[in-house]
Amino acid sequence: MATVARVTTITVRSETSFEDAVAAGVARASETLRHVSGAWVKEQKVEASEGKITAWSVTLEVSFVLDD
């Protein structure tokens, strides 16, 4: 039997780190999507103010397996 997956794009912002943004994105996607199997970090950005990073954001491609 073949397995079919789908990919959706989400953007996540964290005031802590890139790692926190990725973890929050996967956790949030898992609340809505069943069978989340992984994520690819497509893009990373930072926000800055007065020379200091104030927020980290990532664009994720989240993969999830479709039900039979």
- Domain extent for 46: 5-65
Would you say residue 64 has pLDDT above 80?
A: yes
Residue 29 exposure: Cα atoms within 13 Å on the Cβ side: 26
The share of the chain scoring above pLDDT 90, in percent, equals 93
Record the pTM.
0.89
Question: E strand or H helix at 3, and its extent?
Answer: none
Q: CATH code at 52?
A: 3.30.1660.10
- Cα angle vertex 29, ends 21, 33, to 5°? 170
pLDDT of residue 1: 76
Tell me how many domains the chain contains: 1
